[in-house]
Amino acid sequence: MLTKKEQRLRRARQTRIRIANQGVARLSVNRTNLHIYATVVSEDGTKVLASASTAEAEVRSSLGGAGKGSNTAAATLVGKRIAEKAKAAGVEKVAFDRAGFAYHGRVKALADAAREAGLQF
């Protein structure tokens, strides 16, 4: 039997194979119990073009203290920031890599905020 983490990583591997065939930059999302992280990776997967997370000091101060990085409001803020940083790096179109996490809650909030801020996926 696979553990819950191994199942998630297996799903993530399948997604990354499909994204690699598309030939576009990848918006990868990782969530933990305390934070949510978003990274835009180049088409070939060798360079990080932009990144944002709730662990950044500027984001934490705007959220209002400790323990606020694990809710949908924080994910929405990170989604807006990653879209701004990606557009500044010259990336308009990305493939969304949810890393095996369910498209629900914080992951969905981040994706919706990034779309509203101008990223296409």
φ and ψ at residue 22, rounded to 5 degrees: -75, -30
In the numeric block, which tokens belong to residue 54? 């709730």
In the block, tokens 């940083």 appear at 85
DSSP lists the bridge partners of residue 41 as 26, 48
Average pLDDT of the chain to the nearest whole number: 94
Higher-confidence position of 63 and 25: 25
Can you give the length of the chain in residues? 121
| pLDDT higher than threshold 80 for residue 66 | no
DSSP lists the bridge partners of residue 39 as 28, 51
8 Å CB contact between 114 and 82: yes
How much is the pLDDT for 91? 95
In the numeric block, which tokens belong to residue 111? 């994706």
Q: Side by side, which strands form the sheet with 36-41?
A: 48-53, 36-41, 25-31, 94-97
| pLDDT higher than threshold 80 for residue 65 | no
DSSP lists the bridge partners of residue 93 as 120
Dihedral over Cα of 55, 61, 65, 70: its sign: negative
pLDDT band, residue 68 (cuts 50/70/90): confident
